[in-house]
Amino acid sequence: MSSITMVQAVNDALREEMRGDDDVVVLGEDVGINGGVFRCTADLIDEFGEERVIDTPLSESGIIGAAVGMALYGLKPVPEIQFSDFIWPAFDQITSEMAKMRYRSGGQFTCPMVVRTPYGGGIRGGHYHSQSPEAYFTHTPGLVVVIPSDPYDAKGLLKAAIRCEDPVIFLEPKRIYRAPKMDVPDDDDYVVEIGKAAVRREGTDFTITAYGAMVAVALEACEKAAEQGWSGEVVDLRTLLPLDEDAIIQSVTKTGRLVTLQEATKFCGFSSEISAIVAEKAIDVLEAPVKRVSGFDVPFPYTLEHVYMPHADRVLKAIEGVMTY
């Protein structure tokens, strides 16, 4: 076991998978000599060379398009998009080619690749470096969408994603890239199963669903709620697509109340899907309407970032709403 940050966890996962499989290649803007804008690919080029750690031109469409071709020819590319905000020029390659390759070929071809990209706010990056695009990709059949909330899961889920035969969008919450540290296994065979949520805190009075950097916010809100005598359960989704619906329904059935938490804007956000699933499958156990806590329906602000991003007190207000309904 090693006590490491999420940045190091990502780096270790890439290094171990590249050592174990010569077909794994990394490509993207500045991933080689500079080791990536957040240093997630630091020193990989020294060990694996420029044929497997490829610095590309500033062309997101070209990066993903090239990676799709690599995957079809038997490689396992792991392209990096420097910020998720820059992924839109590659959106057609992702949704029209990468996601549909298995279906359009009748199963003759798969597209095993992992698109890594940091997302979300918390670093004062402004509206072009802080967005949360997860809902766009969960609306696309054929993709797997993964978001870790800590170094342990970041390493295990990334290793599982690289071994997956389907294309994966791997969103990394950059707000927690370097804090906190966690003990993470050094075992090459260590993986975290894709498609399984994790209960981060057991509770009996209400459920909070969250993912990425919002898991820590949910846990903090539960601590505040406990001061008022309320017991909260936190379900870390970990994988948005496929979604572990059973874990959500099981928790809500136990608590009878649900607060959903996301950093992205509210309208048509991923939490809306969770609300709909619970309404369809567990409305008879609900003792209060579902409350959604999210970013606001505005472009991500710079100077008011601290106002935009959900924090524990905003979540606590939603908890009070479901507990006093």
Helices (H), the chain: 6-20, 44-48, 60-72, 91-92, 101-104, 134-138, 151-163, 214-226, 245-255, 270-282, 305-308, 312-323
The first and second tokens of residue 250, run together, are: 């099981």
The first and second tokens of residue 253, run together, are: 């059935």
CA distance 318 to 217: 13
Q: Which residues contact 96 (CB under 8 A, 6 or more apart)?
A: none
Element containing residue 239 per DSSP (H, E)? strand 239-241
Phi and psi at residue 101, in whole multiples of 5°? -60, -45
Element containing residue 268 per DSSP (H, E)? none
Peptide bond before 180: cis, by omega within 30 degrees of 0? yes
Burial (CB count within 10 angstroms: exposed 0-12, middle 13-18, buried 19+), residue 156: buried
Residues that are catalytic:
129
Which residue(s) pair with 4 in the sheet? 182
Q: Which residues contact 194 (CB under 8 A, 6 or more apart)?
A: 144, 146, 157, 160, 161, 164, 168, 239, 242
Q: Which residues contact 49 (CB under 8 A, 6 or more apart)?
A: none
Q: Dump strand ranges (E) for 56-190.
A: 76-80, 114-119, 144-146, 168-173, 182-184
Q: 270: closest CA among 246, 248, 291, 294?
A: 294
